[in-house]
């Protein structure tokens, strides 16, 4: 089991969606991530090497075509603090910019 902190990004619409951020990837670290955002209920992450990760939500609540979160509201939480428990988690390799 990894000792690294698991994090999730929460995008708020009328309902909330949960996006699992790969372990080892820090959205706030400019050495790893150029930019990120949520559009059409997909988390897009532009890495420092220009590779783009597309992460789908974990709790597809509605078959609805989301565009942007309400008031562009997104927050990063520790997964445990948010109450999200899941053993399947991708890992981010800072050297290669790849997820595993």
For 37-73, how does the pLDDT look when each residue is reduced to its tens digit (9 = 90+)?
A: 999 889 999 999 999 999 998 865 655 556 666 666 6
Find the domain containing 34 and state its range: 7-99
Cα dist. 21→39, 52, 53, 90 in Å?
16, 13, 10, 8
Share of the chain above pLDDT 70, in %: 67
1 in a domain, yes or no? no
* Amino acid 95: pLDDT: 72
Q: How many domains does the chain have?
A: 1
pLDDT beyond 90 at 30 = yes
pLDDT beyond 70 at 3 = no
């Amino acid at each position: 089991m990894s000792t690294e902190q698991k994090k999730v990004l929460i995008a708020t619409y009328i309902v909330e969606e949960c996006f699992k951020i790969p372990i080892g990837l820090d959205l706030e670290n400019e050495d790893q991530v150029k930019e990120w955002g949520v559009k059409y209920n997909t988390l897009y992450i532009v890495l420092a090497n220009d590779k783009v990760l597309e992460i789908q939500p974990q709790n597809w609540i509605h078959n609805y075509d989301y565009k942007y979160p309400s008031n562009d509201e997104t927050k990063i939480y520790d997964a445990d603090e948010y109450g999200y428990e899941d053993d399947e988690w991708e890992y981010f390799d800072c050297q290669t910019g790849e997820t595993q």
